[in-house]
Amino acid sequence: MIRITRRERFSAAHRLAKEEWSQEKNFDVFGKCSNPNWHGHNYILYVTVEGEVDEETGYVIDLSLLGKIVKEHVIKYVDHKNLNLDVPFFKGVMTSAENIAIKFWEQLEEPVNATGGKLCSIKIQETENNYVEYFGK
Amino acid sequence: MIRITRRERFSAAHRLAKEEWSQEKNFDVFGKCSNPNWHGHNYILYVTVEGEVDEETGYVIDLSLLGKIVKEHVIKYVDHKNLNLDVPFFKGVMTSAENIAIKFWEQLEEPVNATGGKLCSIKIQETENNYVEYFGK
Amino acid sequence: MIRITRRERFSAAHRLAKEEWSQEKNFDVFGKCSNPNWHGHNYILYVTVEGEVDEETGYVIDLSLLGKIVKEHVIKYVDHKNLNLDVPFFKGVMTSAENIAIKFWEQLEEPVNATGGKLCSIKIQETENNYVEYFGK
Amino acid sequence: MIRITRRERFSAAHRLAKEEWSQEKNFDVFGKCSNPNWHGHNYILYVTVEGEVDEETGYVIDLSLLGKIVKEHVIKYVDHKNLNLDVPFFKGVMTSAENIAIKFWEQLEEPVNATGGKLCSIKIQETENNYVEYFGK
Amino acid sequence: MIRITRRERFSAAHRLAKEEWSQEKNFDVFGKCSNPNWHGHNYILYVTVEGEVDEETGYVIDLSLLGKIVKEHVIKYVDHKNLNLDVPFFKGVMTSAENIAIKFWEQLEEPVNATGGKLCSIKIQETENNYVEYFGK
Amino acid sequence: MIRITRRERFSAAHRLAKEEWSQEKNFDVFGKCSNPNWHGHNYILYVTVEGEVDEETGYVIDLSLLGKIVKEHVIKYVDHKNLNLDVPFFKGVMTSAENIAIKFWEQLEEPVNATGGKLCSIKIQETENNYVEYFGK
């Protein structure tokens, strides 16, 4: 069993706030991340797939295939977008790094596992000082 | 003469578009950077100051003083903000990396030069694949 | 369950040597790391916390709270300090990266776990070519 | 138990192709990686060893000893070499990142474990956008 | 006047050797870089263009246009190639980082300057420990 | 004319303080950098040499020769040392990044220029947030 990881990047706007709360309460809880006019990040995404090495190719999964899956099911929805307003799978979801990782897992689990590999972890780096990792449960 | 550079970071939303143009024309010219709902970046700012070394301290400029100037005149206006909507000195300005560098120069030249050093360059890194440098003329 | 990691940095002097050994023996065992006049590093610390995502905030733990805990219980003791001479919790301890990770765990376990999250790992990067990870047992 | 990781680097040429296939079939399966005249990478290798901390030294394993083992059993064979043509332990093996990790494990397991530590993982970074990890089974 | 830089990457094999010299002499002069079976690198290319900011767009040059020019005139010739064997503009040229920078300048000067900007520098990073810069004269 | 840069690293302890000042005054001027028990950094040094490309080798200067010069005249004096106590050429000099760059220039100018190249700049990175550059005048 080997793990292989592909890195992808996307730039997006977002905001942390609950609509039903006042701006003051949102600021108390989320600080500057609640700015009503949005802010944004260069997010870095690491998708890790686990599997056995194919004897013929030496691959767990063809990285260009993995790249296509990630672009098709995640990147095209979020790159140069507003995570809160533009992305169907973030409707009604707080766009914290934690939830981004969980929703990306849900987007990628089926198409990645259909290749014969097994989705192993999703890592989202939001700034150089923080990242989250999700392992599917 | 020595050059000393301080790095600062800020996360912001922005959009490239001319209000007087249609969305189609904006997309033709600015591509995905024109998304009406904004996108964002982790910007990295490098402020370079040139000067002679003070014999007593060994400093061109005290880096913590330089840091305070940069935070007071630039970072507090742009971090976790929308560059187009929230920042007085970007009013009516296309928020390209080029113009960000020029406007930051205008914000920093006077307070930096008041320390005895001389503002030498502003570098703005927008993504890992592009950056701009401005030297004041 | 999600893991979230916060990165912090500190710059410190240290030395690897046993007081009861001669300088020659210390040099034999620890090489240039035993220099009696000290050397130093820009250490990078990664603190990883595991927990469930709060439905209301989307957080495992508020990163600014985690940052405050790490600064209060670790960084303020070690940044711009001599690890061997200035830090109470390194008294009598060889300041190898391994022991730094273990002692930081002891400093952080209680205050981190009091937030409802669970301290999951401490990673210390000493140079670009080496790092250690400790998982609490 | 602590894990300690040493990073090493090597620059090498390689090619992904099966000799018994036509160039067309190799291109279909391996794309530009099958270029008959080779291409190359700056590979980054991370060797992770797990063990208990020695009370006297504070070490899991002396990093300079670990470095010597990695240079002697891996780096000297692959640095500034052609992985397909020059390296005995890649004879008849597809030089994918996956197989590089597995073969390096086989080279390192015995000499690393002879030190008293336990080889824990081999990570190979081929480009800034992909890496593999192998844990020995 | 502003400078804008675009980063591109390519992975290639190469070798430093003079055909008319013996392998021994080549090894004496070029060391391990003369390995007859090639080695390779992940090269990083920085293309810097200088110009005035267009008032309408805020651009010195459209980065996606600059990217297209660099891919068309440089990257497509060198990525996943053997610099000595596969690249017409390196025929008879020692493929040192210095010469790579000079030849890339010759490839890019005309198409970049045709955009209205002015090619300002070519930087080639061969490993994390060395890079060259060429300014066209 | 081409510029070639070699990166080297060293880890050292230091302190900013004037012996004739009280500890209070030193703290007022140099802040935490004045800690009497020292602190330290992983310094990164970039040595840039300018010259014409040798037609036979394609080199401005042989990088392994440049590396030897830098190790012999700088690194061996400062790596795993105390800059204030252990280094002859820092006697009586405030070990600010600015002065480190100037003193390294003085150490390297003669041996580098003896190779036929011309020392062009010394860059010292002290932390990820600051660096200095010196051009010899």
pLDDT tens readout for residues D74-131: 999 999 999 999 999 999 999 999 999 999 999 999 999 999 999 999 999 999 999 9
B131 contacts E59? CB cut-off 8 A: no
Q: Which band of pLDDT confidence, cut at 50, 70 and 90, is reported for residue A137? A: confident
Two tokens at F137?
């005048």
Instruction: Identify from E32, E44, E79, E80 which residue to disrupt to test chain D contact, counting D C-beta atoms within 10 A and taking the largest count.
Output: E80
Q: What is the mean pLDDT of residues B48-70?
A: 97
Residue range E60-119, pLDDT digits in tens = 999 999 999 999 999 999 999 999 999 999 999 999 999 999 999 999 999 999 999 999
* Mean of all residue pLDDT scores within chain A: 98
Residue range F27-65, pLDDT digits in tens = 999 999 999 999 999 999 999 999 999 999 999 999 999
Helix (H) or strand (E) holding A88: none
| CA D67/CA D47 separation, integer angstroms | 9
Residue range B101-124, pLDDT digits in tens = 999 999 999 999 999 999 999 999
Rounded to whole angstroms, what are the CA distances from D17 to A32, A57, D21, D85, D92? 52, 8, 8, 13, 11
Number of Cβ pairs closer than 8 Å across D and E? 77
Q: Which pairing describes strands A130-134 and C2-14: parallel, antiparallel, or unpaired?
A: antiparallel
Task: Please give, rounded to a whole number of angstroms, the shortest distance from the CA of A78 to a CA of chain C.
Answer: 18
Given the residues E8, E50, E109, E126, select the one marked as catalytic: E126
Nearest CA in chain E to F1: E137
| CA E41/CA D80 separation, integer angstroms | 9
| CA E101/CA F58 separation, integer angstroms | 11
Contact C124, C103 (CB under 8 A): no
What is the pLDDT, as a whole number, of residue E26? 98
Q: What percent of chain E has pLDDT over 90?
A: 99
* Mean of all residue pLDDT scores within chain E: 98
Catalytic site residue A120? no
Question: Which residues of D are known catalytic residues?
Answer: 33, 80, 126
Residue range C80-130, pLDDT digits in tens = 999 999 999 999 999 999 999 999 999 999 999 999 999 999 999 999 999
| CA E38/CA E129 separation, integer angstroms | 20
Secondary structure of chain F in the HEC alphabet?
CEEEEEEEEEEEEECCCCCCCCHHHHHHHHHHHHCCCCEEEEEEEEEEEEECCCCCCCCCCCHHHHHHHHHHHHHHHHCCEEHHHHCHHHCCCCCCHHHHHHHHHHHHHHHHHCCCCEEEEEEEEEECCEEEEECCC
F38 contacts C79? CB cut-off 8 A: no
Task: Please give, rounded to a whole number of angstroms, the shortest distance from the CA of F3 to a CA of chain C.
Answer: 26
Q: What percent of chain B has pLDDT over 70?
A: 100
Contact E39, D9 (CB under 8 A): no
D53 contacts C102? CB cut-off 8 A: yes
Residue numbers in F near E46 (CB within 8 A): none
Q: Which pairing describes strands C2-14 and C81-82: parallel, antiparallel, or unpaired?
A: parallel
Nearest CA in chain C to D7: C129
What is the pLDDT, as a whole number, of residue D1? 94
Residue numbers in A near C9 (CB within 8 A): none
Contact F34, F23 (CB under 8 A): yes
Contact A10, A27 (CB under 8 A): no
Residue range C20-48, pLDDT digits in tens = 999 999 999 999 999 999 999 999 999 99
Two tokens at A13?
């706007």
Q: Which residues contact B4 (CB under 8 A, 6 or more apart)?
A: B48, B49, B51, B60, B61, B63, B66, B117, F97, F98, F130, F131, F132, F133
Residue numbers in C near F9 (CB within 8 A): 127-128
Nearest CA in chain B to E63: B130
| CA C58/CA A97 separation, integer angstroms | 8
In the predicted model, is pLDDT for residue F81 greater than 90?
Answer: yes
| CA A102/CA A92 separation, integer angstroms | 14
Number of Cβ pairs closer than 8 Å across C and F? 77
In the predicted model, is pLDDT for residue C79 greater than 90?
Answer: yes
D37 contacts E85? CB cut-off 8 A: yes
- DSSP 8-state secondary structure symbol assigned to residue D93: S
Two tokens at B51?
């000067």
Residue numbers in E near D45 (CB within 8 A): none
Q: Nearest CA to E74 among E100, E49, E48?
A: E100
Contact A4, D130 (CB under 8 A): yes
Packing angle between helix F97-113 and helix F63-70, nearest 10 degrees? 130
C58 contacts A99? CB cut-off 8 A: yes
In the predicted model, is pLDDT for residue B137 greater than 90?
Answer: no
In the predicted model, is pLDDT for residue E43 greater than 90?
Answer: yes
Q: How far apart are the first and last CA of chain B?
A: 20
Name the residue facing D98 among A56, A59, A64 (closest C-beta). A59
Q: Chain E residues contacting D, CB < 8 Å?
A: 9, 11-14, 32-33, 35, 37-42, 79-82, 85-86, 127-128
Beta bridge partners of F94: none
Which value does ipTM take for this structure? 0.96
Q: Which band of pLDDT confidence, cut at 50, 70 and 90, is reported for residue F20? A: very high
B59 contacts F31? CB cut-off 8 A: no
Task: Please give, rounded to a whole number of angstroms, the shortest distance from the CA of C125 to a CA of chain D.
Answer: 9
In the predicted model, is pLDDT for residue C137 greater than 90?
Answer: no
| CA A39/CA B40 separation, integer angstroms | 6
Please spell the DSSP secondary structure of A27-75, one letter per residue: HHHHGGGG-TT-EEEEEEEEEEEEEPPPTTT--SS-HHHHHHHHIIIII
Please spell the DSSP secondary structure of B91-118, one letter per residue: TTS---HHHHHHHHHHHHHHHHHTTTSE
What is the pLDDT, as a whole number, of residue A127? 98
Beta bridge partners of F130: B6, F127
In the predicted model, is pLDDT for residue C63 greater than 90?
Answer: yes
C7 contacts A129? CB cut-off 8 A: yes
Catalytic site residue A73? no
Task: Please give, rounded to a whole number of angstroms, the shortest distance from the CA of F100 to a CA of chain E.
Answer: 20
Q: Which band of pLDDT confidence, cut at 50, 70 and 90, is reported for residue E57? A: very high
Task: Please give, rounded to a whole number of angstroms, the shortest distance from the CA of A61 to a CA of chain C.
Answer: 25
What is the pLDDT, as a whole number, of residue F48? 98
Contact C46, C123 (CB under 8 A): yes
Domains parsed from chain D with CATH numbers: 2-134 (3.30.479.10)
Name the residue facing D42 among E37, E79, E127 (closest C-beta). E127
| CA E103/CA E114 separation, integer angstroms | 18
Two tokens at E97?
């980082």
Task: Please give, rounded to a whole number of angstroms, the shortest distance from the CA of C118 to a CA of chain F.
Answer: 30
| CA B17/CA F102 separation, integer angstroms | 47
Beta bridge partners of F11: F42
Q: Nearest CA to A41 among A9, A71, A72, A67?
A: A9
